[in-house]
């Protein structure tokens, strides 16, 4: 399942450079994850890098975009 960034995002930008598929971009108020390209870091890392670096724990699994 893809990850998403919640409204708790502080827009610090730490997650964006950590994404191996460039799925994270700066939105109007918070950063956003493109669920079409997010692979949960599978094949790149053992853990989801956005969640690892997020200081406010705003990066969470998105149940609306499960893995196929």
Q: What is the pLDDT of residue 68?
A: 67
Quick one: CATH architecture of 1-68? 2-Layer Sandwich (3.30)
Unique residue bearing structure tokens 């460039």: 22
Q: What is the pLDDT of residue 66?
A: 82
**Residue 9: both structure tokens together:** 């995002």
The burial of 66, by beta-carbon neighbours within 10 Å (0-12 exposed, 13-18 middle, 19 or more buried), is given as exposed
Q: What is the pLDDT of residue 1?
A: 86
Q: Is pLDDT at 7 greater than 90 in this prediction?
A: yes
Q: Is pLDDT at 67 greater than 80 in this prediction?
A: no
DSSP bridge partners of 5: 59
Q: What is the pLDDT of residue 9?
A: 98
Mean pLDDT of 16-32: 98
Q: What is the pLDDT of residue 23?
A: 98
- DSSP conformation class of 56: T
- The full set of domain ranges for the chain reads 1-68
Mean pLDDT of 2-10: 97
């Amino acid at each position: 399942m893809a990850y998403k960034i919640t409204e708790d995002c502080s827009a610090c930008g730490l997650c964006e450079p950590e994404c191996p598929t460039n799925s994270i971009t700066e939105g109007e108020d918070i950063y956003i994850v493109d669920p079409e390209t997010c692979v949960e870091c599978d094949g790149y890392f053992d853990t989801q890098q956005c969640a690892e670096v997020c200081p406010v724990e705003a990066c969470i699994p998105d149940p609306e975009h499960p893995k196929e």
